[in-house]
Amino acid sequence: MKYSDDSEEHRKANIGYANERWRQLYGLQNDWGTEGIKYLFLVNSGAAVAMLAFLGSVVEARKWWWTISMLVFFAVGIVLIGFLHALRHYHVLRMFKNWRESVNEYYTDQKGWNTIVNADVERATKFDWTLVLAYVSFACFITGITIGMFNFLTLTSGEHYGRKETDATTSTTKASTPGATSPIEQGGQIKDRERNAEQSTTSTTSQKEIK
Protein backbone atom coordinates (compact mmCIF):
# COMPACT_ATOMS: atom_id res chain seq x y z
CA MET A 1 0.00 0.00 0.00
CA LYS A 2 1.33 3.44 -0.93
CA TYR A 3 2.00 6.15 1.63
CA SER A 4 -0.83 8.38 0.40
CA ASP A 5 -3.34 5.51 0.52
CA ASP A 6 -2.38 4.32 4.00
CA SER A 7 -4.13 5.29 7.20
CA GLU A 8 -2.61 7.72 9.68
CA GLU A 9 -2.04 4.97 12.22
CA HIS A 10 -0.15 2.81 9.72
CA ARG A 11 1.88 5.80 8.57
CA LYS A 12 3.11 6.46 12.10
CA ALA A 13 3.94 2.78 12.57
CA ASN A 14 5.83 2.64 9.26
CA ILE A 15 7.73 5.85 10.02
CA GLY A 16 8.69 4.49 13.44
CA TYR A 17 9.91 1.24 11.89
CA ALA A 18 11.85 3.16 9.22
CA ASN A 19 13.57 5.32 11.83
CA GLU A 20 14.44 2.29 13.94
CA ARG A 21 15.80 0.45 10.90
CA TRP A 22 17.89 3.45 9.87
CA ARG A 23 19.30 3.68 13.38
CA GLN A 24 20.16 -0.02 13.35
CA LEU A 25 21.84 0.07 9.95
CA TYR A 26 23.79 3.20 10.85
CA GLY A 27 25.03 1.54 14.03
CA LEU A 28 26.14 -1.53 12.09
CA GLN A 29 27.90 0.62 9.52
CA ASN A 30 29.68 2.60 12.22
CA ASP A 31 30.71 -0.52 14.16
CA TRP A 32 32.06 -2.34 11.13
CA GLY A 33 33.85 0.79 9.97
CA THR A 34 35.57 1.08 13.34
CA GLU A 35 36.54 -2.60 13.28
CA GLY A 36 37.96 -2.18 9.78
CA ILE A 37 40.10 0.75 10.89
CA LYS A 38 41.40 -1.26 13.85
CA TYR A 39 42.25 -4.15 11.55
CA LEU A 40 44.17 -1.94 9.13
CA PHE A 41 46.14 -0.36 11.96
CA LEU A 42 47.01 -3.69 13.56
CA VAL A 43 48.15 -5.45 10.39
CA ASN A 44 50.24 -2.53 9.15
CA SER A 45 51.81 -1.81 12.54
CA GLY A 46 52.49 -5.50 13.19
CA ALA A 47 54.14 -5.92 9.80
CA ALA A 48 56.22 -2.77 10.33
CA VAL A 49 57.44 -4.00 13.73
CA ALA A 50 58.35 -7.38 12.22
CA MET A 51 60.35 -5.71 9.44
CA LEU A 52 62.15 -3.45 11.92
CA ALA A 53 63.11 -6.50 13.99
CA PHE A 54 64.35 -8.29 10.88
CA LEU A 55 66.40 -5.32 9.72
CA GLY A 56 67.80 -4.87 13.21
CA SER A 57 68.99 -8.46 13.48
CA VAL A 58 70.28 -8.89 9.92
CA VAL A 59 72.67 -6.17 8.80
CA GLU A 60 72.85 -7.55 5.27
CA ALA A 61 69.09 -7.07 4.85
CA ARG A 62 69.45 -3.31 5.18
CA LYS A 63 71.09 -3.28 1.76
CA TRP A 64 68.16 -4.97 0.01
CA TRP A 65 65.77 -2.59 -1.74
CA TRP A 66 62.71 -4.73 -1.19
CA THR A 67 63.02 -4.86 2.60
CA ILE A 68 63.13 -1.07 2.76
CA SER A 69 60.20 -0.91 0.33
CA MET A 70 58.13 -3.22 2.52
CA LEU A 71 58.84 -1.11 5.58
CA VAL A 72 57.91 2.07 3.70
CA PHE A 73 54.58 0.63 2.52
CA PHE A 74 53.65 -0.53 6.03
CA ALA A 75 54.62 2.84 7.50
CA VAL A 76 52.54 4.69 4.90
CA GLY A 77 49.59 2.46 5.77
CA ILE A 78 49.90 3.46 9.44
CA VAL A 79 50.14 7.16 8.59
CA LEU A 80 47.04 6.93 6.39
CA ILE A 81 45.08 5.48 9.30
CA GLY A 82 46.06 8.54 11.33
CA PHE A 83 44.81 10.84 8.58
CA LEU A 84 41.64 8.77 8.37
CA HIS A 85 40.89 9.31 12.05
CA ALA A 86 41.50 13.05 11.74
CA LEU A 87 39.35 13.35 8.62
CA ARG A 88 36.57 11.31 10.18
CA HIS A 89 36.50 13.57 13.22
CA TYR A 90 36.48 16.67 11.02
CA HIS A 91 33.63 15.30 8.89
CA VAL A 92 31.40 14.58 11.90
CA LEU A 93 32.24 17.95 13.46
CA ARG A 94 31.36 19.78 10.23
CA MET A 95 28.08 17.87 9.86
CA PHE A 96 27.07 18.73 13.42
CA LYS A 97 27.98 22.39 12.98
CA ASN A 98 26.03 22.73 9.72
CA TRP A 99 23.00 20.95 11.15
CA ARG A 100 22.96 23.19 14.20
CA GLU A 101 23.08 26.28 12.00
CA SER A 102 20.32 24.92 9.77
CA VAL A 103 18.04 24.23 12.74
CA ASN A 104 18.61 27.76 14.03
CA GLU A 105 17.66 29.10 10.60
CA TYR A 106 14.48 27.04 10.73
CA TYR A 107 13.57 28.42 14.16
CA THR A 108 14.09 31.98 12.93
CA ASP A 109 11.97 31.39 9.81
CA GLN A 110 14.92 31.87 7.48
CA LYS A 111 14.54 28.45 5.84
CA GLY A 112 11.84 25.82 5.59
CA TRP A 113 12.07 22.33 7.04
CA ASN A 114 12.32 20.60 3.68
CA THR A 115 15.14 22.93 2.66
CA ILE A 116 17.34 22.19 5.65
CA VAL A 117 16.66 18.45 5.45
CA ASN A 118 17.58 18.33 1.77
CA ALA A 119 20.74 20.33 2.47
CA ASP A 120 21.71 17.93 5.25
CA VAL A 121 21.16 14.90 2.99
CA GLU A 122 23.27 16.52 0.28
CA ARG A 123 26.12 17.14 2.70
CA ALA A 124 25.96 13.55 3.95
CA THR A 125 26.10 12.08 0.45
CA LYS A 126 29.26 13.92 -0.59
CA PHE A 127 32.37 12.00 -1.60
CA ASP A 128 33.77 10.15 1.41
CA TRP A 129 37.55 10.56 1.49
CA THR A 130 37.83 8.41 4.61
CA LEU A 131 36.83 5.38 2.56
CA VAL A 132 39.55 6.19 0.03
CA LEU A 133 42.18 6.42 2.77
CA ALA A 134 41.06 3.07 4.18
CA TYR A 135 41.37 1.36 0.79
CA VAL A 136 44.77 2.93 0.13
CA SER A 137 46.01 1.80 3.56
CA PHE A 138 44.86 -1.73 2.83
CA ALA A 139 46.52 -1.55 -0.59
CA CYS A 140 49.80 -0.58 1.11
CA PHE A 141 49.59 -3.66 3.31
CA ILE A 142 48.81 -5.93 0.36
CA THR A 143 51.68 -4.42 -1.65
CA GLY A 144 54.16 -4.93 1.18
CA ILE A 145 53.07 -8.52 1.70
CA THR A 146 53.27 -9.21 -2.04
CA ILE A 147 56.83 -7.90 -2.20
CA GLY A 148 57.75 -10.14 0.72
CA MET A 149 56.17 -13.18 -0.93
CA PHE A 150 58.12 -12.68 -4.16
CA ASN A 151 61.33 -12.44 -2.13
CA PHE A 152 60.43 -15.15 0.38
CA LEU A 153 63.53 -17.27 -0.26
CA THR A 154 65.82 -14.33 0.40
CA LEU A 155 63.79 -13.43 3.47
CA THR A 156 64.14 -16.90 5.00
CA SER A 157 67.89 -16.82 4.41
CA GLY A 158 68.09 -14.07 7.00
CA GLU A 159 68.61 -16.72 9.69
CA HIS A 160 71.75 -17.85 7.86
CA TYR A 161 73.04 -14.29 7.78
CA GLY A 162 72.24 -13.93 11.44
CA ARG A 163 74.25 -17.04 12.34
CA LYS A 164 77.23 -15.83 10.31
CA GLU A 165 77.17 -12.45 12.03
CA THR A 166 76.88 -14.08 15.45
CA ASP A 167 79.81 -16.41 14.77
CA ALA A 168 81.92 -13.54 13.50
CA THR A 169 81.11 -11.46 16.57
CA THR A 170 81.97 -14.34 18.89
CA SER A 171 85.28 -14.96 17.15
CA THR A 172 86.19 -11.29 17.33
CA THR A 173 85.35 -11.18 21.02
CA LYS A 174 87.50 -14.19 21.77
CA ALA A 175 90.40 -12.81 19.78
CA SER A 176 90.23 -9.42 21.46
CA THR A 177 89.94 -10.76 25.03
CA PRO A 178 93.37 -10.72 26.74
CA GLY A 179 94.42 -13.98 28.34
CA ALA A 180 91.56 -15.92 26.80
CA THR A 181 92.33 -19.56 26.00
CA SER A 182 90.49 -22.07 23.91
CA PRO A 183 89.13 -25.35 25.37
CA ILE A 184 91.97 -27.29 23.72
CA GLU A 185 94.60 -25.05 25.31
CA GLN A 186 92.90 -25.35 28.68
CA GLY A 187 92.94 -29.16 28.41
CA GLY A 188 96.68 -29.13 27.62
CA GLN A 189 97.40 -26.92 30.61
CA ILE A 190 95.50 -29.26 32.92
CA LYS A 191 97.47 -32.26 31.67
CA ASP A 192 100.77 -30.40 32.18
CA ARG A 193 99.84 -29.58 35.77
CA GLU A 194 98.92 -33.21 36.46
CA ARG A 195 102.23 -34.41 34.95
CA ASN A 196 104.23 -31.93 37.05
CA ALA A 197 102.38 -33.03 40.18
CA GLU A 198 103.18 -36.69 39.49
CA GLN A 199 106.87 -35.91 38.92
CA SER A 200 107.02 -33.91 42.15
CA THR A 201 105.46 -36.78 44.10
CA THR A 202 107.89 -39.32 42.62
CA SER A 203 110.88 -37.12 43.43
CA THR A 204 109.77 -36.70 47.04
CA THR A 205 109.31 -40.45 47.49
CA SER A 206 112.78 -41.18 46.09
CA GLN A 207 114.41 -38.73 48.49
CA LYS A 208 112.71 -40.38 51.46
CA GLU A 209 113.96 -43.83 50.41
CA ILE A 210 117.56 -42.59 50.09
CA LYS A 211 117.47 -41.17 53.61
Number of structural domains, the chain?
Answer: 1
pLDDT in tens, 71-88: 999 999 999 999 988 888
Residue 22 lies in a domain: yes
Q: Report which of 83, 89, 96, 160 is spatially closest to residue 124, judged by C-alpha positions.
A: 96
At 104-134, the pLDDT tens digits run 888 888 888 788 878 887 877 776 788 889 9
Q: Is 204 part of a structural domain of the chain?
A: no
Coil vs helix vs strand at 200: helix
CA angle (170 as vertex; 164, 175 as ends), nearest 5: 125
Residue 34 lies in a domain: yes
What is the tens place of the pLDDT at every residue in 151-205? 877 656 554 444 444 454 555 555 444 554 545 455 556 666 666 666 655 555 4
In a domain, 75, yes or no: yes
Q: With helix as H, strand as E and coil as C, how does 78-146 read? A: HHHHHHHHHHHHHHHHHHHHHHHHHHHHHHCCCCCHHHHHHHHHHHHCCCCHHHHHHHHHHHHHHHHHH
Q: Does residue 105 lie within any of the structural domains?
A: yes
Task: Please give the residue range of the domain that contains residue 40.
Answer: 8-156
Query: Does 81 reside within a domain?
Result: yes
Does some domain include residue 165? no
Q: Give residue 49's pLDDT band: very low, low, confident or very high (50, 70, 90).
A: very high
- pTM exceeding the 0.85 threshold for the entire prediction: no
